[in-house]
Structure 1
Amino acid sequence: MSPRRSRTLLSPLRHLVRTEDPSAALTEALPVIDDAMAVRIIDLAVRIGETMLTTGAPASEVTLTIVRVAGAYGLSPVHIDVTYNSITAAHHRSGATRPITLMRVVRQSAPDHDKLRHLQALVVDIRQGLDIDTARERYRAIRRAAFRYPPVAVIAAQALLAVGVAVMFGATPAVVAIAGVAAALAALTQFALARARVPFFFSQIAGAFVLTMVAAAAPLLALTGLVAADAVRPSVIVASGIVLMLAGLTVVGAAQDAIDGFALTALGRILELTMQTLGVVLGILAALQVALVAGIGMAAPSEALPLGTVPLQLTGAVLIAIAVALYNGAGLRIVATSAVLSLVAWLGFLAASATGLDAAAASGIGAFAGSFLGIVAAHRLHVPSVAITTAAILPMVPGAAVFRGLLTIVDASESPDLLGPGFGTLASAAVIGVSLAVGASLGIYLGQPVRATLGGVIRSRARVRR
């Protein structure tokens, strides 16, 4: 291989962050951009960035997108400041008496990965020469588009997620059915509270309360004489619901923003994550106390819930990934890719566990495998990397450990010696969550230069064929 060709293929590996594509076409809207045109350019770029941030994109990707859109229309340099609830962009022309500054407030985030995919496609077209008027019209159409699925389908997807978790634990058909019903009731409760504009923190409490009460009452089915009711495991039902309640949390996004240096955005997302997780904890604790008073209390399992056979684990992981993708509004391409990556991530987890690594380390390795292949595949499949990465790692969320720790703490009211083990179990679950975030973030960073290298190889081959 010639030295020149070697430099061409290996140059992307010198950067662990996104690099600009030198082959991208620049869109010079006007030879000289006046203030009015500059405001239109910045407004379009910031609006695209705002919608990307609310639909689940990390702050670093939002910043890069705004800079790229403004640069495509000849506006450079543009300085961007992204916080958790606002985006500020400023352009100071050389010799001008004052800069052009625009700020937009970012509303509450609502993951919508199909809308994010269309926004990324719009940015690609802008960099290839799309005029600003057409770009503004396309952006308005994307922003106003309704969520891909109706509420009934979203609730069904949430129930499917809980079913997938129950399958991973090798639950009986009766437990799987109850887990799906409990999750559907919790999702319906949260949907009704959202329509009433109740803060999401209280929705988390209500949803966790409902699913825990259903799980606590499930053993009463044995009074009906059904044989299957004798094998009901309430812990599996609640663990399935906990994964559902934590499905929409931006653990990976918060970790990636912190690593990228977006401190305010990372702190905002971490605080939101903490409050919403606390809502789940409070809802479960309240339901456990009510169940105890009603005489249907649950005993804390002495050991971690065992997983089912490997085929059941893989089936459950695929069901979870599909459910998460549908819950976040993804299309068929993202759903299929998420299902494949969930298999890769879970196989990585199993392989790491087989070597003797603990759950936290194995979870990090599984998250790394899923996100690394996800960031490489996302570019070729034209799907958002955050969409498929989130769905791939969610099966490893330690819902069972969270519930076991909470149940042990509740039992500590009668036996104080259980307080330490309960908090220890919760701490172990938190370590697994951090390991998932770190593994996914590391996979994204190492996957970016590999993706750029593969892109360089593909472009080189295309030029040779010509």
Structure 2
Amino acid sequence: MTGEISTEPDEQDQRDERDAYRAMGLALRVGELLLGSGEATETVSETMRRIAATYGVRKCEADVNLSSLSISHVPGGDRAPVTAERRVRRRQPDYDRLIAVSSLVRRINAGELPLPEAETRLRDITRRVGVYPNWLIVTSLALIAASASILVGGGWVVAVAAFAATVLGDRVGAWLARRGVAEFFQLLVASLLGTLVAVGLIWQKVPVQASAVVVGAVVALLPGRALVACVQDGIAGEYVTAAGRLTEVLFIVAGVVSGIGTAIAVGLRLGVPVTVDDVPVAPLSLEAPQLLGAAAVSLTFAVALLVPPRHVLPGALGGGLIWTAYVLLSEADFPPLIATAVACAAIGLLGTAYAKLVKVPAMVFIVPAVGPLLPGTLLYRGMLDVSLGHLAGGTVNLVQAISTALAIGAGVILGAEIIRAFSSRRLARRFRPAARRTRGF
């Protein structure tokens, strides 16, 4: 008599299945932290696949979009495929946590951590206290504005005004955020307040470069991190995510520009003599105020992005280097866009090389370093021209501002690609296995 054949999977199969689910869940949580910190889509998806493979889940595909991640596993045989998804509900830059996650990923890929220990360590990372207190982060944002105003020749009085305006804008924005008001309007209000401070200084005929207050406040609001990631995704062929990030950048810029335009319109309505002649342009100089202003912009950006103290100084040095390169290229009669792209490529190359040396993500150094070249003056000048009825000139300035922003992103990625080109072929294929010559087809 033939006995019954059990159709239930044995205990080992059940254990393997549970481990596969846990590995996929770990990969999703790591991917969420990386994507939320602004890491490139290509890096996030490759990291998720490698984590799953390390824990025995080899037939996996990871799909990463701007606000969601999914991972699929096809086990083969008669076992059903599995797909899990996770949403990224908040993208908050925290480079201290990003460094910790990257270190964890390296240890996982090296086979040093069993799955339960990796889950515990990731849980500890997500629960860790911020590297800086909230008051210092608010202060750093205000110091970005103050440093940028000094960079464009505003002086110390203007720096104090820019500091106060940015603190006020940030606190009002935080108040709006607690009430669920969309980020677009938070940015609008923050830029509105900064511009109103400048309009007030012009109205009271204070003998300072009042418009430098606006330039400083705008630089503090511009999305340098999202911009770099956007261009990086596009160059890597992640066009859907690149388009999503670009849309995010454009909405942030639109919010800032709307606030500037509203404040200028109010000032003009009240008879304040706001003119394009009042807009300062950063002197192409390597004198102390400009070099210190550029380094201070990058240093304060690093603190605002929660870069750990041990890595803040290289970011500040990067700001001084990128400004020096930009000035020298401009003095050599390079057009502004070319000078911006080449200076950013140099920082991208040096920052990526240094990041490999100290084993942290390159954006920890690169994103703060590009702060001095963000096009705050062009945005303000363009919006002022439009408000005064000079549509042609305003459009040109706004287009030039967007072009400058894209040149920053492209230059930074070019520097990183130069490092990749001279890396070992095995290493390059491991991180970008799909790269092929297509000749545009």
Q: 2:342 maps to what in 1? A: 365
**1:278 matches 2:254:** yes
The answer to whether the 8 A contact 1:304-1:401 is kept is no
Q: 1:446 maps to what in 2? A: 418
SS in 1 for 2:43: helix
The answer to whether the 8 A contact 2:141-2:220 is kept is yes
The answer to whether the 8 A contact 1:182-1:215 is kept is no
Q: CA deviation at 1:171?
A: 2.2
**1:175 matches 2:192:** no
Counterpart mapping for 1:171-250 below 5 A: 171-222=154-205, 229-230=206-207, 232-247=208-223, 250=226
Counterpart mapping for 1:229-308 below 5 A: 229-230=206-207, 232-247=208-223, 250-301=226-277, 305-307=281-283
The answer to whether the 8 A contact 1:334-1:383 is kept is no
Counterpart mapping for 1:87-166 below 5 A: 87-128=69-110, 129-166=112-149
Q: 2:56 maps to what in 1? A: 74
Q: CA deviation at 1:376?
A: 0.9
The answer to whether the 8 A contact 1:122-1:135 is kept is yes
Q: CA deviation at 1:379?
A: 1.7
Structure 1 distance, partners of 2:196, 2:102, is 43
The answer to whether the 8 A contact 1:375-1:448 is kept is no
Structure 2 distance, partners of 1:319, 1:41, is 43
Structure 2 distance, partners of 1:337, 1:255, is 23
The one-letter amino acid of 1:167's match is I
Deviates more, 1:438-447 or 1:213-222: 213-222
Deviations 1:304-324 (A, max 9, x none): 624264132221111111111
Structure 1 distance, partners of 2:172, 2:297, is 21
Q: CA deviation at 1:249?
A: 5.0
Change (3 A) 1:336 1:316: same
Structure 2 distance, partners of 1:374, 1:437, is 14
Q: Unaligned 5+ residue runs, structure 2?
A: 1-11, 429-441
Q: CA deviation at 1:80?
A: 0.8
The answer to whether the 8 A contact 1:374-1:389 is kept is yes
Q: 2:4 maps to what in 1? A: none
The answer to whether the 8 A contact 1:190-1:203 is kept is yes
Change (3 A) 1:146 1:264: farther
The one-letter amino acid of 1:283's match is G
Change (3 A) 1:31 1:365: farther
Q: CA deviation at 1:51?
A: 1.1
Structure 2 distance, partners of 1:327, 1:70, is 33
The one-letter amino acid of 2:172's match is T
The answer to whether the 8 A contact 1:375-1:447 is kept is yes
The one-letter amino acid of 2:319's match is S
The one-letter amino acid of 1:260's match is A
Change (3 A) 1:337 1:448: farther
The answer to whether the 8 A contact 2:225-2:367 is kept is no
Q: 1:405 maps to what in 2? A: 382
Q: CA deviation at 1:100?
A: 2.0
Deviates more, 1:300-309 or 1:123-132: 300-309
Structure 2 distance, partners of 1:452, 1:151, is 43
Structure 2 distance, partners of 1:330, 1:195, is 25
SS in 2 for 1:93: coil
Structure 2 distance, partners of 1:419, 1:238, is 20
SS in 1 for 2:276: coil
Q: CA deviation at 1:248?
A: 5.5
The one-letter amino acid of 2:168's match is L
Deviates more, 1:246-255 or 1:48-57: 246-255
The answer to whether the 8 A contact 1:371-1:440 is kept is yes
Structure 2 distance, partners of 1:323, 1:302, is 26
Q: CA deviation at 1:114?
A: 0.5
**1:64 matches 2:53:** no
SS in 2 for 1:431: helix
SS in 2 for 1:81: strand
Change (3 A) 1:53 1:66: same
Structure 2 distance, partners of 1:323, 1:96, is 56
The one-letter amino acid of 2:215's match is A
Change (3 A) 1:308 1:234: farther
Change (3 A) 1:50 1:303: closer
Q: 1:321 maps to what in 2? A: 298
Q: CA deviation at 1:422?
A: 1.3
Q: CA deviation at 1:450?
A: 4.3
Counterpart mapping for 1:36-47 below 5 A: 36-47=18-29
Q: 1:433 maps to what in 2? A: 405
Change (3 A) 1:221 1:381: farther
Structure 2 distance, partners of 1:393, 1:381, is 20
SS in 2 for 1:141: helix
The one-letter amino acid of 1:434's match is L
Structure 2 distance, partners of 1:70, 1:323, is 37
SS in 2 for 1:250: helix
Q: Unaligned 5+ residue runs, structure 1?
A: 1-29, 223-228, 413-417, 457-466
Q: 2:3 maps to what in 1? A: none
Change (3 A) 1:452 1:235: farther
Question: Deviating runs (4+, > 4 A) in structure 1?
Answer: 30-33, 449-453
**1:421 matches 2:393:** yes
What's the C-alpha RMSD, in Å, of the aligned pairs?
2.2
With structure 2 as the length reference, what TM-score do the two structures score?
0.89
Number of residue pairs aligned between Structure 1 and Structure 2: 414
